[in-house]
Amino acid sequence: MEKIVSVRLSNERSCGVHIGASLKGLGRALARFAAGRRALVVAPGPVARRYAPAVLKGLNAAGFEAELLTIPDGERHKNLGTVAKIYKAALAARLDRKSVVVALGGGVTGDVVGFAAATYLRGVPVAQVPTTLLAMVDASIGGKTGVDLPEGKNLVGAFWQPALVWMDLSVLKSLPDREWRTGAAEVVKYGLIADRRLLEIMRSETLDSLRRKPALLAEVVTRAAACKARVVSADERETKGLREILNLGHTFGHALETATGYSSYTHGEAVAVGMCAAARLGARLRTFKGSEVAAVDDLVRRWGLPARARRPVSRAKVLAAMARDKKGASRFVVPFGWSKAEVVEGVPLPMVEDVLSEVGM
């Protein structure tokens, strides 16, 4: 059963997030949006091989002239070189502003293809078709697009809201375990900041059990997507500080990723350690109980995620990364009891260092 979560945007616009849709059905849905009948589907190799045929078939059946561009896979290709490849393919396919670009893949694909769509001819419609759990619950919703520079991640980008977000949950069957877990970390985050039922589900299921329960998986993705959609609707361009709540565990997590050179932890693994750190900060600030901290550790481990750094990491590097973080090293999102979180400013450095020690950072 398909569910639709609506992201309300400024100027009476909105974006439908379709959960439980079929890849083949995308063509028919897009035919209602796009004024033209040309489409470019962009996907990384492993995703293109498995899933592009169904998307192309649906587009063709709906009257589109659709081309496929396969891009190199992985974060190291989330760059301007790949954007140039997409422009080239768009020109070759004679896309105009009535055409549509389809981003089929994980968050890397969504970001780089979304950015190319935002800038090609000053903007053509894009459909986000996320195929990782992380992209479904997070990256595909909200309109942030961009690429990395050699100097750092996500340094170039644009806000470009998709025409629609289209999720076929059956594609998760081929998702490697580690990618499932990294997405699960973000789901746990939504449970901790906003959704009690989601938290309960994550506390009672495991990766194996969830994979065997398609209806429950649909509920999990729908709830997580709805959390993201609510926050985006309230603060579309991240100007009001409301989106900041989504950063629970991320100040610590980004610091761990940066200090280890993005090679040892997936994003979700780093965020898991970060959430355990944020829980400890909550305990010190008396917004979270000691028993709740232990429960967060258990929850993270239940999903095969680390609750503390696996190996010693340079404290100097961690602190330097936190200081460079947009939020600074004294501003943190902290849990306030279950399923609620707030930003706390002016956290003293010794308290931050104590928390870092407790999670092995």
Ligand X SMILES: NC(=O)c1ccc[n+]([C@@H]2O[C@H](COP(=O)([O-])OP(=O)(O)OC[C@H]3O[C@@H](n4cnc5c(N)ncnc54)[C@H](O)[C@@H]3O)[C@@H](O)[C@H]2O)c1
Positions marked catalytic: 122, 144, 186, 228, 238, 243, 247, 250, 254, 267
Q: Which of 27, 58, 107, 253: binder of ligand X (CB under 6 A)?
A: 107
Q: How far is the CB of 124 from ligand X (least distance, A)?
A: 18
Is residue 257 part of the contact set for ligand X (CB under 6 A)? no
Q: Assign 138 to helix, strand or coil.
A: helix
As a whole number of angstroms, the distance between CA 332 and CA 347 comes to 8
Is residue 170 part of the contact set for ligand X (CB under 6 A)? no
* Tally of residues, the chain: 361
Q: Among residues 139 and 192, whose Cβ is nearest to ligand X?
A: 139
Q: Among residues 74 and 81, whose Cβ is nearest to ligand X?
A: 74
Is residue 119 part of the contact set for ligand X (CB under 6 A)? no
Binding letters toward ligand X, positions 53-92, x by CB under 6 A: --------------------xxx--x--------------
Closest alpha carbon to 118 in 93, 97, 138, 136 = 97
Region binding ligand X by CB under 6 A among candidate stretches 9-17, 106-114, 187-195, 229-237: 106-114
Q: How far is the CB of 111 from ligand X (least distance, A)?
A: 5
Q: How far is the CB of 184 from ligand X (least distance, A)?
A: 11
Q: By the 8 A CB rule, do 361 and 309 touch?
A: yes
Q: By the 8 A CB rule, do 298 and 332 touch?
A: no
Q: Which of 30, 39, 47, 83: binder of ligand X (CB under 6 A)?
A: 47
Q: How far is the CB of 220 from ligand X (least distance, A)?
A: 16
Gyration radius from the chain CA atoms? 20
Q: Which of 15, 42, 102, 139: binder of ligand X (CB under 6 A)?
A: 139
As a whole number of angstroms, the distance between CA 244 and CA 56 comes to 37
Surface-to-core class of residue 295, CB atoms within 10 Å of its CB (0-12 exposed, 13-18 middle, 19+ buried): middle
Q: How far is the CB of 104 from ligand X (least distance, A)?
A: 9
Q: How far is the CB of 108 from ligand X (least distance, A)?
A: 3
Which tokens go with 257? 């990723």
Write down the H helix ranges in 141-289: 177-193, 196-204, 207-211, 214-234, 250-259, 267-284
Q: Please state, as a whole number, how many other Cβ atoms lie within 10 Å of the Cβ of residue 166.
A: 27
Residue with tokens 């209806």: 215
Is residue 247 part of the contact set for ligand X (CB under 6 A)? no
Q: Please state, as a whole number, how many other Cβ atoms lie within 10 Å of the Cβ of residue 49.
A: 11
Surface-to-core class of residue 7, CB atoms within 10 Å of its CB (0-12 exposed, 13-18 middle, 19+ buried): buried
Q: Among residues 111 and 269, whose Cβ is nearest to ligand X?
A: 111
Is residue 131 part of the contact set for ligand X (CB under 6 A)? yes
Q: Among residues 175 and 242, whose Cβ is nearest to ligand X?
A: 175
Q: How far is the CB of 112 from ligand X (least distance, A)?
A: 8
Beta-carbon contacts of 136 under 8 Å, excluding residues fewer than 6 positions away, are 19, 130, 167, 169, 183, 221, 224, 225
Is residue 179 part of the contact set for ligand X (CB under 6 A)? yes
Is residue 142 part of the contact set for ligand X (CB under 6 A)? yes
Residue with tokens 């945007």: 9
Closest alpha carbon to 48 in 71, 30, 21, 24 = 71
Region binding ligand X by CB under 6 A among candidate stretches 88-96, 169-177, 199-207, 279-287: 169-177
Is residue 42 part of the contact set for ligand X (CB under 6 A)? no
Q: Among residues 107 and 249, whose Cβ is nearest to ligand X?
A: 107
Tell me, what DSSP letter sits at residue 329?
T
Q: Which of 31, 158, 175, 344: binder of ligand X (CB under 6 A)?
A: 175
Chain residues that interact with ligand X, rule: CB under 6 A? 44, 46-47, 73-75, 78, 105-109, 111, 131-132, 134-135, 138-139, 142, 144, 154, 171-172, 174-175, 179, 182
